Amino acid sequence: MSEPGTYVEKSFKRDTNYITTRITADGRDGFPVEAGRYRLVVARACPWANRAIIVRRLLGLEDALSMGICGPTHDSRSWTFDLDPGGLDPVLRIPRIQDAYLRRDPEYPRGITVPAIVDIPTGAVVTNDFKQITVDLETQWRDLHRDGAPDLYPAELADEIEAVSEPIYRFVNNGVYRCGFAGTQDAYDKAYRRLWEHLDLLEERLSTRRYLVGDHVTEADVRLFTTLVRFDAVYHGHFKCNRSKLVELPALWGYARDLFQTPGFGDTIDFAHIKRHYYVVHKDVNPTGIVPLGPSLENWASPHGRQALGGSPFGEGGTPPGPPREVVPPEHNPALALIAG
């Protein structure tokens, strides 16, 4: 599941009890960085997994870290590999990611989440700690980065990245879920106000700077983008975050389009999977399972004008990643053809 959690006083509280084993350059936890040994399991629908998809692509880790993609829906057990022939992941040879968790612990008691990194030789999950996964890809896997890869987690900016990201996680990334899964009017009202207070602060911050921290894309931008790109399609209506649409917020809308049009961001987005996941799986929020046809998505290709604020996406000496290895079907993201054209 992408949003395991419980209700505390009728408000949503995310289960953050992840498997914290790390894959590091020195192998301190018994899992050294090694090209070809691990498989990243994701679902394009999930914003937390989307972070890892973007970072892997920006850093050019496709040859070093293969990727299995689950379909947009799941049952109470876990995400399934229903997009693959025969319903089996072609590398792990399992039908659902739960199987890799049970290889790690036959009585695994917590949420079955994506992203997860699986040790291919044993078939067991190494980690599902989504925040640490991307930071480690950025810092521990450096020897395997492509030439021209951006530094998404510069040591001199690490503290600022985390300081900016912490309230984004609390009030925006997780805040939309606290709105959508609120069990009382009071819990919803509190989550809604906190969400919009912080989005207003971000609108102000991004009105004078192109990126959240520094002069090029960092981990902080990846973390915010995956919520913004889902906002109008899902969170505005489905989660009742409806004070304004993203398209009505000049700085945030321009910022989101700037990132979307940057190779490695928009080309990872599957709007069809995103909408199908939220509107079909969340039966408590949308009992009919009807998936809306809107909103229009072509506007993600419209000019943003953010270059006037300075900076560059990949920093000095950085270059964009090549064409994506795992291609989103054009009908699932119509803006991509307009950008390419």
**Whether residue 46 lies in the annotated active site:** yes
Q: Is residue 150 part of a domain?
A: no
CATH number at residue 11: 3.40.30.10
Per the structure block, which two tokens stand in for 328? 């989103």
Domain boundary, last residue among 116, 144, 172: 144
116 & 175 share domain: no
Q: Are residues 11 and 124 in the same domain?
A: yes
- Note down pLDDT in tens along the chain; length 341 residues: 455 554 444 555 556 689 999 999 999 999 999 999 999 999 999 999 999 999 999 999 999 999 999 999 998 889 999 999 999 999 999 999 999 999 999 999 998 999 999 999 999 999 999 999 999 999 999 999 999 999 999 999 999 999 999 999 999 999 999 999 999 999 999 999 999 999 999 999 999 999 999 999 999 999 999 999 999 999 999 999 999 999 999 999 999 999 999 999 999 999 999 999 999 999 999 999 999 999 999 999 999 999 999 999 999 999 999 999 999 999 999 999 999 87
Residue 185 covered by a domain: yes
Last residue within a domain, chosen from 144, 174, 203: 144
DSSP reduced 3-state for 336: helix
| 136 and 186 assigned to the same domain | no
CB 79 within 8 A of CB 13: no
- d(CA 195, CA 170) in angstroms, rounded, equals 9
DSSP at 125:
E
Residue 80's SS3 state is: strand
Instruction: Give φ, ψ of 181 to 5 degrees.
Output: -105, 15
Are residues 202 and 64 part of one domain? no
Final residue in a domain of this structure, among 144, 178, 206: 144
Residues 172 and 321 in one domain: yes
Residue 179 annotated among the catalytic residues of the structure: no
Q: For residue 149, tell me if it sits in a domain.
A: no
> How many whole angstroms separate alpha carbon 338 and alpha carbon 15?
39
Active-site choice (101, 177, 188, 211):
177
| pTM, entire model | 0.95
Are 268 and 253 in contact by the 8 Å Cβ rule? The answer is no
φ, ψ of residue 78 to 5 degrees: the values are 175, 175
Regarding beta strands 5-8 and 38-43, do their DSSP bridges make them parallel or antiparallel, or are they unpaired?
Answer: unpaired
Domain that holds residue 245: 155-340
The residue type of 194 is R
Same domain, 254 and 318: yes
Contacts for 135 with CB less than 8 Å, ≥ 6 apart: 153, 219
Q: How many helices (H) and strands (E) does the chain have?
A: 10, 6
Give a yes or no: residue 262 inside a domain: yes
Residue 170 and residue 302 share a domain: yes
The 10 Å Cβ neighbour count of residue 121 is: 8
Residue (of 106, 75, 86, 107) closest to 1 by Cα position: 75
Please count the CA atoms within 13 angstroms of the CA of 219 that sit on its side-chain side. Answer: 28
* Same domain, yes or no: 264 and 172: yes
Tally of domains in the chain: 2
Q: Which strand (E) or helix (H) includes residue 162?
A: helix 158-167
CB 9 within 8 A of CB 240: no
Determine which one of 46, 70, 179, 241 is catalytic. Answer: 46
Shared-domain flag, residues 172 and 261: yes
Residues 122 and 197 in one domain: no
Residues 135 and 166 in one domain: no
